[in-house]
Structure 1
């Protein structure tokens, strides 16, 4: 007699191995989402620090032809929460897009850094699925991630 099929123990062993591989892969995908969100949050904080630093050089902007400097550089969100930009006066200077599954929101329409380093306090929220991270800018211009 020729036995070509596998025994029940072999089939259960293969199912167990496949289950472990799928379970490990699913966990790493969730971990990857958290890393992506942390990465975008860190980039947002660095870009806010950059805008804060250039706000101290408002005289350089007026020399480049930017007018309406009653406020410092303004940091604003794009419509739909898919990105953000900063502008000086009415001119958009630089703009950034977020990955399509990460959204940003803020408790203000726009945030301003003043020449003395102060800022309008603002809380940015980045979300990916049910995960959220926050970048908080306080009144004296300090930036922190939570």
Structure 2
């Protein structure tokens, strides 16, 4: 599943989704980790080790530490509820001098931060290969 498809599903959902959590885990895990979907089918239940990205800020923060090391993040609650989307989150590169890179408005703090993180990964603002080992991504060549 592409990051764009995952982002759309995160934006559309409002509740916990073990299936979406597994799809995100599978999309962002390196080779040899195993498939969350296969583990769930084998055990006929959600694996206990599967991160709960759609409901847990702790799980999303662990993802940010792995894929966007050194990035700053914030989560806010807006009193003016617009279409049920009262939580917003941002992520920013450490070398962006405080400039916000991605922002998301969603129904829960975990989904908002997850969406901002996925947008940063999708937009190429973090390189998945470099981010997995904690190195700062190499600058993108300009045309």
Give me the TM-score of the superposition, normalised by structure 2. Answer: 0.30
Q: Which has the higher Rg, Structure 1 or Structure 2?
A: 1
